[in-house]
Amino acid sequence: MVFLYNLGIRIYQLLIAIASLFNHKAQLWRNGRKGWKTRLKASIGETKGIVWFHCSSLGEFEQGRPVIEALREKHPDFKILLTFFSPSGYEIRKNYSGADYIFYLPIDTWFNAKTFIEIVNPTAAIFIKYEFWYHYLNQLKKNGIPTYVISAIFRPEQAFFKPYGGWYRKFLLNFEHLFVQNENSKELLASIGVKNVTVAGDTRYDRVIANAQHAKSIPVIEQFAKNSKVLVAGSTWPKDEEIIIEFFKTNPLGLKLIIAPHEIHEQNIEKFIEKIGQRSIRYTQTNGIDPSEANVLVIDTIGILSSVYQYGTIAYIGGGFGVGIHNTLEAAVFGIPVLFGPNYQRFQEAHELIGIGVSKSIGNSDEFSAAMDSFLKSDENLDNARKLSQSFFNSKVGATETIIRTIKL
């Protein structure tokens, strides 16, 4: 199995090298790892007392962030090393001030893992949600470094729980402790003999609650949304946008639209503005324009979406017609109803939001219109959604505190 694992890693590396010839993301992935050993040594030097956090991408970073910041507050003498697997996390957060060192994670080979651990020599290692790398986990265990996974979710279809999953189950034996999001995960782990588990919940709730409490005021958007009901559509893809465009052809509820496409390339934005056929403005081009006169505002920059949701009456989260929905909690925390596409099965928070009656999944334009109408037909429905959301988020606070209390440094 180790041979097959190593072979798979090498094949993946080769495919990335080929893709980097014509794909910008693959190019970033590859170039970001060049000379990693020299750069890591130069940055860290003889520093001791490093806590290493690793996350796959931006979403996992947001789950880890509350723990990073709470740990720094509680143990200010420790240094924080943050690594990413994906460019979509690293390139956006490479200047994050909460970490002392930020790097791409070198690909998981025996040599890379051994060298990386020797250079960093972390006091503890914390993996976020899904990251299970064979050689890194082995080297951490071999060197007696306490290793944790936080905000993890386990499902029956994962290899750990299959009859052939004996080798994969060994990965889990390298963890000092596993912090999971729900009781189902704990029960699954217990079924294969893994008992060092705590149901801490999802640290993203702590993060989005803090975001909402410190949401930035955005005057342009405030002026655009003033005295209007507004749909905020976040992280949308073409299929999501088709449904939104169809709705706004008639716009029976008289809404304004704020849309933040997942891809903010010029061609994509121009195509959307042309298709929607309404007076539209772009966030970065509002100088000298009265935003309140427009009906559509396109967010053509990154980093502000979590604050934009505060101006919404209702939200739509993109990605549900692809591999999976984006972050629903960033919107729901403001007490507004949230809609999304059909591919939400892997997202526990989406199931729970639907369960308490503040979210709906839609599969086509007709279902989108019906869902919009059901929430917006009366102020009473909106007030009810706000109260249910507030109660729901209050019940989810505290995962970060549970984790910090347990981690050994």
- pTM (two decimals): 0.82
Among residues 149, 177, 201, the one where a domain terminates is 201
User: Of the candidates 376, 234, 247, which has an alpha carbon nearest to the alpha carbon of residue 316?
Assistant: 234
Beta pairing, strands 280-282 & 296-298: parallel
Indicate the average pLDDT of the chain: 93
362 and 339 inside one domain: yes
Among residues 156, 172, 201, the one where a domain terminates is 201
Host domain of residue 91: 43-201
Q: Is residue 356 part of a domain?
A: yes
152 and 117 inside one domain: yes
pLDDT of residue 310: 96
Burial class from Cβ neighbours inside 10 Å (0-12, 13-18, 19+) for residue 112 reads buried
Label each residue of the chain as H, E or C.
CHHHHHHHHHHHHHHHHHHCCCCHHHHHHHHCCCCHHHHHHHHHCCCCCEEEEEECCHHHHHHHHHHHHHHHHHCCCCEEEEEECCHHHHHHHCCCCCCCEEEECCCCCHHHHHHHHHHHCCCEEEEECCCCCHHHHHHHHHCCCCEEEEEECCCCCCHHHCCCCHHHHHHHCCCCEEEECCHHHHHHHHHCCCCCEEECCCHHHHHHHHHHHCCCCCHHHHHHHCCCCEEEEEEECHHHHHHHHHHHCCCCCCCEEEEEECCCCHHHHHHHHHHHCCCEEEHHHCCCCCHHHCCEEECCCCCCHHHHHHHCCEEEECCCCCCCCCCCHHHHCCCCCEEECCCCCCCHHHHHHHHCCCEEECCCHHHHHHHHHHHHCCHHHHHHHHHHHHHHHHCCCCHHHHHHHHCCC
pLDDT of residue 99: 96
Q: How far is CA 59 from CA 56, 147, 207, 236, 279, in A?
A: 8, 21, 11, 16, 33
- The model's pLDDT over 256-306, given as tens digits with 9 standing for 90+, comes to 999 999 988 888 999 999 999 889 999 998 887 889 889 999 999 988 999
User: Of the candidates 101, 133, 135, 138, which has an alpha carbon nearest to the alpha carbon of residue 120?
Assistant: 101
Q: Is residue 38 part of a domain?
A: no
228 and 354 inside one domain: yes
Q: Is residue 263 part of a domain?
A: yes
291 and 327 inside one domain: yes
154 and 75 inside one domain: yes
Write out the two tokens for 306: 């979590």
Q: Is residue 22 part of a domain?
A: no
Write out the two tokens for 23: 């794909």
Angle between the N-to-C axes of helices 203-213 and 58-74, in degrees from 0 to 180, rounded to the nearest 10:
80
- The model's pLDDT over 325-371, given as tens digits with 9 standing for 90+, comes to 999 999 999 999 999 999 999 898 999 999 999 999 999 999 999 99
As for how many domains the chain has, the answer is 2
Q: Is residue 30 part of a domain?
A: no
Give me the residues of the chain with pLDDT under 50, please: none
250 and 364 inside one domain: yes
The one-letter amino acid at 66:
P
257 and 285 inside one domain: yes
220 and 292 inside one domain: yes
Q: Is residue 371 part of a domain?
A: yes
CB 361 within 8 A of CB 340: yes
What is the CATH classification number for the domain harbouring 84? 3.40.50.11720
Q: Is residue 323 part of a domain?
A: yes
Among residues 201, 233, 259, the one where a domain terminates is 201
pLDDT of residue 59: 84
Torsion from C-alpha of 320, 322, 323, 328, nearest 10 degrees = -20
pLDDT of residue 263: 87
Q: What is the CA radius of gyration of the chain?
A: 23
Which distant-in-sequence residues (6+ apart) come within 8 Å of 20 by Cβ?
26, 27, 29, 30, 31
* Rounded-to-integer distance, Cα 257 and Cα 225, Å: 9
192 and 291 inside one domain: no
User: Of the candidates 295, 303, 260, which has an alpha carbon nearest to the alpha carbon of residue 278?
Assistant: 295
pLDDT of residue 286: 84
Write out the two tokens for 134: 């064979």
153 and 300 inside one domain: no
pLDDT of residue 2: 87
Q: Is residue 31 part of a domain?
A: no
185 and 247 inside one domain: no
* Rounded-to-integer distance, Cα 80 and Cα 101, Å: 6
240 and 323 inside one domain: yes
What is the CATH classification number for the domain harbouring 365? 3.40.50.2000
Distance, CA of 277 to chain centre? 32
Torsion from C-alpha of 52, 150, 359, 262, nearest 10 degrees = 20
Write out the two tokens for 301: 């920059």
